[in-house]
């Protein structure tokens, strides 16, 4: 489908069709005329999928505006209590991946999104949060993924992070994903295959995405725990500087995951108390909050274990270094005894009676061997050799 059919022509500051009332899709010839007058056409590469969901079924539409029109016409015809914010009904779900600013600005005009939330959606690296703007919610979730890495290379990335941002309104959901982790295709397909899930409306999508992200947290936390236990098993077997580097790298990755998970606990815990969340959905969000608390506890315990393993590895490395120094010192002392005796008899003084004695040489050599043997026996008994 052409981008000109999905996104009408816009300007970052002024809409080209503002003076003509209702928006209309722009044809290819109109796109050329719009480009000639300097109107910005947002790219459609970031648009993953969009659809309207009415009566528990997916309905395709020519444009996003048409899908929203179908949904609002359907909801207006239904006998629903519109005084209850967040009540489930027909809705539009638009999925984006790393969109450009003009694209999100156009969606802001169509769906009435708050400018501050739009600015946060365009810029990545936001802190996990839940904010309310009028009758819509803006939710930022950090995504994590366990990366395939080379265990012998401590610089390889272990945990990859990204973000999923959601605009949740009474009749729409917009998901904006940054990074290659945690795609939402599986979540959308599961929704489309189950009319019961679709009946939950936009808050059901928010719950499904949050549950999907937290389940990824659990999976990554378990794999990090396995990697940490594997390193812990090698600490008292054979510790090298490379092993310590790997432990320290695990420590850094654990801190990265803690930064992604911990800030979400408070806003997600307060989400069931918001008026926009229907009463029948609050238990589901509490369940997600419980899973998140479990992840935080596991990450915290793994972080403490990583600290202990790192300290044990450093202590073990120092102990091995001290053991090597003792061995070196022992052999130096053993070799020093004959060296000293040989140095004394190598001074070539005229009055050294032992040098004229017929048994002088074997006695001196035998004495040096006895001294070396006694020193070796002493060091072995003390555990230095």
SS3 165: strand
The stretch 133-162 carries a mean pLDDT of: 79
Q: Which of 143-147, 172-176, 235-239 has the lowest mean pLDDT?
A: 235-239
For 116, 228, 320, the CA distances from 312, given in Å and listed in that order, are 48, 13, 12
**What does the alpha-carbon distance between residue 345 and residue 343 come to, in Å, rounded to a whole number?**
6
CA atoms within 13 A on the CB side of 72: 11
Residues 6+ apart with CB under 8 A from 313: 235, 239, 243, 244, 247
Domain regions of the chain by residue span: 1-41, 42-314, 325-381
Long-range contacts of 202-205 (CB under 8 A, 24+ apart): 202/86, 202/88, 202/91, 202/168, 202/169, 202/170, 202/171, 202/172, 202/173, 203/86, 203/88, 203/168, 203/276, 203/277, 203/278, 203/281, 204/88, 204/281, 205/91, 205/93, 205/166, 205/168, 205/173, 205/175
Burial classification of residue 222, based on how many CB atoms lie within 10 Å of its CB (0-12 exposed, 13-18 middle, 19 or more buried): middle
| pLDDT band at residue 88 using 50, 70 and 90 as cut-offs | very low
57-59: strand order across its sheet:
57-59, 47-54, 91-97, 172-178, 159-168, 136-146, 129-133
Q: Do the beta carbons of residue 88 and residue 203 sit within 8 Å? A: yes
Classify domain 42-314 at the CATH class level. alpha beta
Q: Do the beta carbons of residue 95 and residue 53 sit within 8 Å? A: no
Average pLDDT in the chain: 78
> What is the pLDDT at residue 242?
52
Tell whether the model's pLDDT for residue 152 goes beyond 80. Answer: no
The stretch 17-44 carries a mean pLDDT of: 36
Percent of the chain with pLDDT over 70: 80
**What does the alpha-carbon distance between residue 343 and residue 368 come to, in Å, rounded to a whole number?**
12
Q: Do the beta carbons of residue 148 and residue 181 sit within 8 Å? A: no
For 82, 138, 162, 238, 278, the CA distances from 271, given in Å and listed in that order, are 21, 12, 22, 49, 11
Tell whether the model's pLDDT for residue 30 goes beyond 60. Answer: no
**What does the alpha-carbon distance between residue 248 and residue 308 come to, in Å, rounded to a whole number?**
11
Q: Which of 62-76, 217-231, 295-309, 355-369 has the lowest mean pLDDT?
A: 355-369
> What is the pLDDT at residue 24?
36
> What is the pLDDT at residue 269?
86
Of the candidates 52, 117, 39, the one whose C-alpha atom is nearest the C-alpha of residue 91 is 52
| pLDDT tens profile 307-319 | 888 888 778 777 7
> What is the pLDDT at residue 316?
77
pTM of the model: 0.70
**What does the alpha-carbon distance between residue 226 and residue 120 come to, in Å, rounded to a whole number?**
35
CATH fold for domain 325-381: Methane Monooxygenase Hydroxylase; Chain G, domain 1 (1.20.58)
Q: Which of 24-28, 104-108, 235-239 has the lowest mean pLDDT?
A: 24-28
**What does the alpha-carbon distance between residue 190 and residue 90 come to, in Å, rounded to a whole number?**
17
User: 58-72, 310-324, 333-347 — which one is most confidently predicted on average?
Assistant: 58-72
Of the candidates 294, 277, 276, the one whose C-alpha atom is nearest the C-alpha of residue 285 is 277
| pLDDT tens profile 114-142 | 999 998 888 878 888 899 898 889 999 99
> What is the pLDDT at residue 196?
86
Intrachain domains 42-314 and 325-381 with the same fold: no
| pLDDT band at residue 12 using 50, 70 and 90 as cut-offs | very low
| pLDDT band at residue 150 using 50, 70 and 90 as cut-offs | low
| pLDDT band at residue 20 using 50, 70 and 90 as cut-offs | very low
> What is the pLDDT at residue 33?
32
> What is the pLDDT at residue 28?
33
């Amino acid at each position: 489908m052409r981008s000109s059919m999905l996104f009408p022509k816009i300007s970052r500051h002024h809409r080209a069709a503002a003076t003509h009332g209702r928006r209309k899709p722009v044809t290819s010839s109109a796109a050329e005329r719009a480009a000639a007058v300097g109107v910005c056409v947002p790219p459609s590469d970031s648009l993953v999928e969009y659809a309207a969901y009415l009566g528990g079924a997916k309905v395709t539409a020519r444009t996003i505006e048409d899908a929203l029109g179908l949904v609002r016409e359907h909801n207006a015809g239904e006998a629903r209590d519109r005084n209850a914010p967040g009540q489930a009904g027909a809705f539009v779900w638009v999925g984006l991946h790393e969109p450009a600013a003009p694209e999100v600005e156009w969606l802001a005009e169509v769906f009435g999104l708050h400018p501050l939330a739009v600015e946060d959606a365009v810029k990545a690296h936001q802190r996990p949060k839940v904010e309310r703007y009028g009758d819509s919610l803006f939710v930022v979730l950090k995504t994590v993924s366990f990366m395939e890495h080379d265990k012998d290379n401590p610089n390889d990335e272990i945990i990859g992070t990204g973000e999923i941002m959601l605009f949740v309104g009474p009749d729409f959901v917009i998901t904006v994903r940054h990074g290659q982790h945690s795609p939402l295709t599986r979540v959308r397909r599961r929704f489309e295959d189950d009319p019961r899930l679709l009946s939950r409306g936009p808050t059901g999508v928010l719950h499904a995405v949050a549950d999907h992200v937290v389940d990824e947290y659990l999976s990554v936390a378990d794999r990090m725990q396995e990697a940490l236990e594997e390193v812990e098993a090698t600490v008292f077997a054979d510790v090298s500087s490379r092993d310590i580097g790997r432990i320290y790298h695990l420590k850094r990755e654990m801190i990265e995951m803690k930064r992604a998970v911990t800030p979400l606990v408070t806003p997600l815990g307060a989400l069931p108390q918001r008026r926009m969340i229907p009463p029948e959905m609050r238990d589901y969000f509490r369940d997600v909050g419980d899973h998140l608390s479990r992840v935080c506890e596991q990450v915290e315990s793994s972080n403490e274990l990583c600290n202990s393993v790192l300290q044990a590895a450093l202590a073990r490395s120092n102990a091995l270094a001290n053991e090597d120094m003792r061995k070196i010192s022992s052999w130096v002392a053993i070799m020093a005894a004959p060296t000293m005796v040989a140095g004394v008899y190598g001074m070539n003084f005229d009055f050294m009676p032992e040098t004229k004695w017929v048994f002088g040489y074997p006695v001196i050599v035998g004495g040096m061997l006895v001294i070396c043997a006694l020193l070796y026996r002493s060091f072995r008994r003390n555990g230095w050799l």
